[in-house]
Amino acid sequence: MRDFFRPGRGPTLAGEATIATSHPLATAAGLDVLACGGNAVDAAIAAVAVQCVVEPHMTGIGGDCFVLYAPAGGEVLALNGSGRAPAAASVGRLKDLGVSTIERTSPHAVTVPGAIAAWTKLHRDHGRLPLERLFARAIAYAENGYPVTARVALDWAEEVPLLARDAGAKTVFLPGGRAPTEGERHAQPLLGQRLREIARDGAAAFYLGRTAESLVRFLYGLGGLHTLEDFADAADGADYVTPIVTSYHGYDVYECPPNGQGLAALMMLNVLAGFDLSEKLPLAERVHLHAEATKLAYHHRDALIADPAHLPYPVEQLLSDEVAHALRGRIDMGQAGAPALWHEPEHRDTVYLCAVDRDGNAISFINSIFHAFGSTRLDPKTGIVLHNRGASFNLIEGHPNAIAPRKRPMHTIIPGLLRRGGRTVAPFGVMGGHYQAAGHAAFLSGMLDRGLDVQAALDAPRSFAFNGVLEVEPTLGESVIAALAAKGHAIKPRTSPLGGGQAIWIDHARGVLHAGSDQRKDGCALGF
């Protein structure tokens, strides 16, 4: 087994087009589409479709999606492909049913999946090649099988007890009663059929007709409140929204607006912008600053970020200089502050990818089923495993993120995009559930404060102030960890790496694309 903490390669350099994903087969599918005349949107859809097959614990067509798309010479578009709660869902209704917490395997954790609505809308508006072409490799892997990689096998094995509790999941994901090991082939023929139907009929194949009917029956049998109307309303439910932006050292950082946590990433950057985080600052001090900024931003995230229709404060106020200055003043360089309040469940399973095509279009794309294998609820008639993003809702009346009819929950999955002078400089993203907002800030600081290249910025040792402790990867080094403990941080060594990530730096002056991919996963970047 390789050491997932210790990467060591350089960025992939290309002159025309490139794509970076968390799995080699997905990257190859995207590159093939780029080479055959497809654009960045086509490549992203082809790649994520493959990931829904070969990384089934991380993502799926029963999940959600967010996108930042920067067409060459145009403005950045944000697409919200996150699902909504059923119309019958409310705090009162769930409490009447005896539900006090929305558990990860509960049918109430399943919002109507938004990924396919987002893919098909993005493809209709900005794609170039037909969906049949884009899904070809994903369908082949689903129907004929694919080899399981080392990292996928490692993560898969951890979820055996939960998978065994659902009959559909056990049949599909525990063939022979166990998780596949590295190098074994795995297939999902029913998923291949669903992809064929979506390629032929678009979003209707998922949200209308037999598939929707089966999913609603399945969820109803588990005690869910979903209806055919909920699914039908979601068929065109992905929304173009206005990105949110802040400035960091002369660069414009774009994120999707709430209900995603991109706002927390921008708040962190606003706080960090007032400090010198260059190589002159010792590593322990940089980690300490990052931890304290994380606590401040995430405290506000958990209290305030929700469905945009329920936000208690405007985004502009939270990104103001006044707020950044006030938060910055709460940081003590010599002492760890009190931990922020955390109300959301931990989640970490997502795929992120990015691509730049030969025309200069760039895309930042993220797709998720929330926890590993989502809710672990797999409809045996359709082969679709359903996400559990609704577990992010709480049952506190009056809270911005309380469950309510047709409401979107707070999301952790966030694509990022960097621009300067009106030109796209880098699509980027970091996987890892809660860590993502903190990861965006750390990645950008690595490049813009320390001058790291895109691969080195992804590879840099990670830390995360989470749940009252400071999680640290061992590559930070014993002396740095000791210095952090001396400041009062409760150190928690990581036994698995913090997330993953991909990014592409566009060197406009030289006409070169620098693509980075995270070896904490099975990251792969290719180009031509």
Contact present, 66 and 411 (Cβ < 8 Å):
yes
Residue with tokens 């895109």: 454
- Short-list 203, 76, 56, CA closest to 138: 56
Q: Which two tokens stand for residue 46?
A: 């082809």
What number of other Cβ atoms are within 10 A of residue 16's Cβ?
14
Active site residue 495: no
Question: Phi/psi zone of residue 216: left (φ > 0), alpha (ψ -120 to 50 degrees), beta?
Answer: alpha
Q: Rounded to the nearest 10 degrees, what angle do helices 283-304 and 478-486 cross at? A: 60
Closest by CA position to 455, among listed 21, 22, 8:
8
Which of 21, 27, 211, 350 is labelled catalytic? Answer: 350
List C-alpha distances in Å: 46 to 113, 134, 445: 19, 5, 31
**What is the distance between the alpha carbons of residues 389 and 60, in angstroms, rounded to a whole number?**
13
Partnered with residue 417 across adjacent β-strands are: 254, 427
Concatenated DSSP letters of 477-497: -HHHHHHHHHTT--EEE-SS-
Give the H/E segment covering residue 220. Answer: helix 209-221
Residues forming the active site = 350
